[in-house]
């Protein structure tokens, strides 16, 4: 069993660390927020006094932080103290350029590294059923795999450095756009006198079928567990969806890709968040669409 450093023990990081503990690993953790440190300590994580202290004795170091800027701020300190050859697993959702920069720093310090963002949310983190999308060398992926399998159900090696983040933001751009498509269809159906259930029964088994419809239906009723049945409490908050949509647009701009629908969807989530709904589930965007004047 390994000693694993874990930096960033928030909504996702703590349940992921708990699954590593359950699997018999020793987890040495750090978070800047005292409440997060206390929660992690009560869950059995050995708490370090700093991120560097969490990395010092570790065979692997996992980071689960809010942004690429923070990852690049934390990396130099932990790379400076880790033993040569330590494996760095960067699991935050961040921009591809920062992910590649983190790989560069790790490589220059003589460490192995992967980018390994996740999908599956807080529920998947707790249940150990996350999907990991991994970028980096095959040897680093092979070393990480047994540990990732303790936190996730599906682990995909997507390619070289940054490929995991690229897959993550492409997937979430599909999700952000498809939720708006499904929402517009339900609002149009309402105006045409169609019941939600009738539209669901047809589209869920026809060519309109997609995850936003069948797992996360934006109207209450057809899918019991969807946030629409719980006053649009997240789930997956509009703030996080907006973050991922903006990452996709930054990537599209730097790669020279045309993502017209992604751009429009990002603007719609931005105005929904600006209207005070950043903390609501992103499927609540249907309510903003319903209120929009026709045109």
Size of the site for ligand NAD (CB under 6 A): 27
CB of 117 to ligand NAD, least distance (A): 6
Using CB under 6 A, pick the residue from 5, 13, 29, 227 that binds ligand NAD.
13
Question: How many angstroms separate the Cα of 249 from the Cα of each of 157, 179, 258?
Answer: 23, 17, 9
Distance of alpha carbon 134 from alpha carbon 145, whole angstroms: 10
25-44 binders of ligand NAD (CB under 6 A):
30-33, 36
Q: For residue 40, give the nearest of 30, 50, 32, 53 by alpha carbon.
A: 30
246 binds ligand NAD (CB under 6 A): no
Nearer to ligand NAD, 5 or 262 (CB): 5
269 binds ligand NAD (CB under 6 A): no
Other CB atoms within 10 A of residue 153 CB: 13
Q: For residue 247, give the nearest of 227, 269, 272, 232 by alpha carbon.
A: 269
95 binds ligand NAD (CB under 6 A): no
Nearer to ligand NAD, 125 or 228 (CB): 125
Q: For residue 155, give the nearest of 169, 165, 141 by alpha carbon.
A: 141
Q: Which of 150, 154, 168, 191 is catalytic?
A: 168
Nearer to ligand NAD, 65 or 79 (CB): 65
Using CB under 6 A, pick the residue from 72, 97, 122, 246 that binds ligand NAD.
122
The DSSP code sequence of 77-98 is HHHHHSPTTPEEEE-S---HHH
Using CB under 6 A, pick the residue from 40, 61, 74, 161 that binds ligand NAD.
74
Nearer to ligand NAD, 75 or 186 (CB): 75
Q: Are 168 and 133 in contact (CB under 8 A)?
A: yes
Contacts of 152 (CB under 8 A, 6+ apart): 118, 120, 124, 128, 129, 130, 131, 132
92 binds ligand NAD (CB under 6 A): yes
284 binds ligand NAD (CB under 6 A): no
CB of 207 to ligand NAD, least distance (A): 29
Is 154 annotated in the active site? no
Using CB under 6 A, pick the residue from 26, 66, 239, 278 that binds ligand NAD.
66
**Would strands 87-90 and 60-63 be described as parallel, antiparallel, or unpaired?**
parallel
Of the ranges 116-124, 254-262, 268-276, 284-292, which one interacts with ligand NAD (CB under 6 A)?
Answer: 116-124
Question: How many angstroms separate the Cα of 44 from the Cα of each of 9, 12, 26, 36, 40?
Answer: 12, 16, 9, 13, 7
The DSSP code sequence of 148-177 is HTTTEEEEEEEESTTHHHHHHHHHHHHHHH
Indicate the residue whose CB is closest to ligand NAD: 10
201-240 binders of ligand NAD (CB under 6 A):
236, 240
79 binds ligand NAD (CB under 6 A): no
126 binds ligand NAD (CB under 6 A): no
**Would strands 112-115 and 118-119 be described as parallel, antiparallel, or unpaired?**
unpaired
Distance of alpha carbon 218 from alpha carbon 210, whole angstroms: 12
Residues with catalytic function: 168
Which residues are at the interface with ligand NAD (CB under 6 A)?
7-13, 30-33, 36, 51, 64-66, 70, 74, 92-93, 118-119, 121-122, 236, 240, 243
């Amino acid at each position: 069993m390994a000693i694993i450093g874990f930096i960033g023990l928030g909504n996702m990081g703590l349940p992921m660390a708990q699954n590593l503990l359950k699997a018999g690993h020793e987890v040495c953790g750090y978070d800047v927020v005292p409440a997060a440190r206390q929660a992690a300590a009560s869950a059995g994580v050995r708490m370090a006094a700093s991120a560097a202290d969490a990395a010092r004795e570790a065979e692997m170091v996992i980071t689960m932080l809010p942004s690429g800027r923070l990852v690049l701020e934390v990396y130099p300190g932990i790379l400076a103290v880790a033993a040569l050859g330590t494996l760095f697993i960067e699991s935050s959702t961040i921009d591809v350029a920062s992910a590649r920069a983190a790989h560069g720093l790790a490589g220059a310090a003589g460490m192995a590294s992967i980018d390994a963002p996740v999908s599956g949310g807080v529920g998947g983190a707790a249940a150990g059923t996350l999907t990991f999308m991994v970028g980096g060398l095959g040897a680093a992926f092979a070393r990480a795999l047994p540990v990732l399998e303790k936190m996730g159900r599906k682990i995909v090696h997507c390619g070289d450095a940054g490929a995991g983040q690229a897959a993550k933001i492409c997937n979430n751009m599909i999700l952000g756009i498809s939720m708006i498509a499904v929402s517009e269809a339900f609002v149009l159906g309402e105006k045409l006198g169609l019941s939600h259930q009738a539209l669901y029964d047809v589209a869920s088994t026809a060519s309109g079928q997609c995850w936003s419809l069948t797992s996360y239906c934006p109207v209450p009723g057809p899918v019991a567990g969807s946030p629409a049945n719980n006053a649009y409490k997240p789930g997956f908050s509009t703030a996080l969806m907006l973050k991922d949509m903006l990452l996709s647009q930054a990537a599209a701009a730097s790669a020279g890709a045309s993502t017209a629908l992604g751009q429009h969807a990002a603007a719609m989530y931005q105005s929904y968040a600006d209207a005070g709904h950043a903390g609501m589930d992103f499927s609540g965007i249907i309510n903003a669409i319903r209120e929009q004047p026709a045109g």
